[in-house]
Amino acid sequence: MPKKRQDIGEEYKWKLSDIYPDEKAWYDDYSKVERLLGEMEKYKGKLGSSARELYEAIKLSEEIERRGEKLYVYARMKRDEDNTLSSSQVLCDKAEMLGVKVNSQLSFMIPEMMDIPDEVLDKFLEEPELALYKHYFDELRRKKEHILSANEEKILAMTADLSTAPSQIFNMLNNADIKFPVIKDEEGKEVELTKANFGRFMESPDREVRKEAFKALYSSYAKLKNTLGATLNSSIKRDIFYARVRQYSSALEASLDGDNVKVEVYENLIATVHKHIGALHKYIALRKKVLGVDELHMYDLYVPLVKEYKKEYDYNKAKELVLEGLKVLGDDYVNQLKKGMENGWIDVYENEGKTGGAYSWGCYDSHPYVLLNYDNRLDDVFTLAHEMGHALHSYYSNTNQPYVYSQYPILLAEVASTVNESLLLDYMLKNTNDEKEKLYLINHYLEEFRGTVYRQTMFAEFEKIVHEKVEKGEPVTVDEFCKIYRELNRFYYGDEVVLDDEISLEWARIPHFYSAFYVYKYATGFSAATAIKEDIKEGGREAVERYMEFLKAGGSDYPLNILKRAGVDLTTPEPIEKALNYFASLVEEMEKLVK
């Protein structure tokens, strides 16, 4: 059973006091944002009157947004510490309501700026104080046909609170209300199943333990399947509503346009993975052979293939490995990494009510933060490297870019995290003479690849299918969700796997489906990271310098341009092909090791 939060050592908790020392400071900032919002009124209708008026309005809106972001990040992370605390829920609700108010009050700006004649705006941008915002305005102009009138934008901004309802409901169901059964572990002891220890049970060498955990987890989701189905359906309809209002041809096009990415890039990913699906089937067949089972079930897909090699990594060992594995990135990177590990950036262990999974977050006016649910597994070591990759990417972006360009585009979000994982894997493979450990690490990488490229592409395809069905006016019931998801599993995993009925419900527990068309970026990011990692290995110092410039670029250019400068062109199949071919070569190497 997870510990209570107060029973976990302070050295293993993040320090949210680095954002606000106490709730009084939070409420003081909250009041300040409300006051600043009142000051915005004087700029309405005047943004095109002079460069000075435009600049002052932009700076004031940035201050409001920065403080609002800081308020929300603190409140949300406070809630994530323990979702059952009503005091944290109150803070989060207030921050969300303030966010809606901010969006509503500032909604006049973009339409009004877009009404400034191009020749006038170009003249304004010649002023030194506004020259910084050239890319920002180029981006607005690119999206001009999708920007509505000031009144329409205000109405849309007022719907923001409603639009978060599906994800909020899912979050409460998935983190606070859902209860999992007690199962028996390998020693026959009764243990309460949790989302955090589910991964450990899926890696158990005891097949009955894996099976029981698998069925127990999905039995809990099955009890909520109708509610979860309605929640996901609502999320899909929300996506379609906003896409149509902004005159996009589809929800997919609307989502990708934020990164200036064409639908063809998304479709190319799916098509290229389909083309290479044989490598995954070959790996699955190898898994069945090594496990020596007559039937390979879905609960057999995560157990390490090296049965005799079981190793745990305590948190201190994990930190040591990550620091050593990333030394190739240079002293500055490693020093910042160590600073984060030792100065309250990370919330390490699971506790009652804590949000599951892992993430990196923060705001422009704080250092980055990382939430973990560390459980001493090899996966957890790589998760530490992964999330700290996000954190350092944010750190370098925030410290090298002005606020307007500080947030790196979502398309780039998974690159730095995956580069870290890949470098860590290389380090660990290089520093072992143990054939079983080598096999274990290759197995880990293949699993990471399967989960990040093949599985996330399957998720992306699921999202595309269900959104297109709803866009065509076709009803998508819980049974339809299950049918679509089951058939995708059949295609991706092939004939060697028995499709247990429970897997049809996996869609019901995937948080990313409430941020539609996000997961494809895991697959493209992994592919880009593979190319960058190889460049670092072969190119030495110059390659590291190019990569560091990538980390510092934030959102100062379009993401595909930033990647091209780092040597990766995602408008072609090449990076994805390269990654998939690397996967196939490791499957062949693994075949030799297990013979």
Nearest to 110 by CA among 167, 57, 173, 176: 57
Q: Are strands 369-371 and 359-361 parallel, antiparallel or unpaired?
A: antiparallel
User: Going by C-beta distance under 8 Å and a sequence separation of 6 or more, which residues neighbour residue 148?
Assistant: 111, 156, 245, 246
Question: Do 386 and 337 touch, CB atoms closer than 8 A?
Answer: no
Question: Do 550 and 567 touch, CB atoms closer than 8 A?
Answer: no
CA 224, 230, 232 angle in degrees (round to 5)? 95
Question: Do 481 and 507 touch, CB atoms closer than 8 A?
Answer: yes
User: Going by C-beta distance under 8 Å and a sequence separation of 6 or more, which residues neighbour residue 19?
Assistant: 70, 73, 74, 363, 365, 366
Q: Classify 187 as helix, strand or coil.
A: coil
Please state, in angstroms and rounded to a whole number, the distance separating the CA atoms of residues 46 and 258.
Answer: 27
Please state, in angstroms and rounded to a whole number, the distance separating the CA atoms of residues 121 and 144.
Answer: 14
**458: which 2 tokens?**
């399957």
CB atoms within 10 A of CB 557: 18
How many helices and strands in the chain, by DSSP H and E? Answer: 26, 7
Please state, in angstroms and rounded to a whole number, the distance separating the CA atoms of residues 357 and 197.
Answer: 11
**592: which 2 tokens?**
């030799």
Nearest to 355 by CA among 376, 370, 337, 340: 370
Q: Which residues are catalytic?
A: 387
CA 499 vs. chain centroid, Å, equals 27
Distance separating the N- and C-terminal Cα atoms of the chain: 40
Q: Classify 82 as helix, strand or coil.
A: coil
Please state, in angstroms and rounded to a whole number, the distance separating the CA atoms of residues 566 and 450.
Answer: 25
356-388 per-residue burial string, b: 16 or more CB within 10 A, e: under 16? bebebbbbbebbbbbbbbbbebbbbbbbbbbbb
Q: Classify 522 as helix, strand or coil.
A: helix
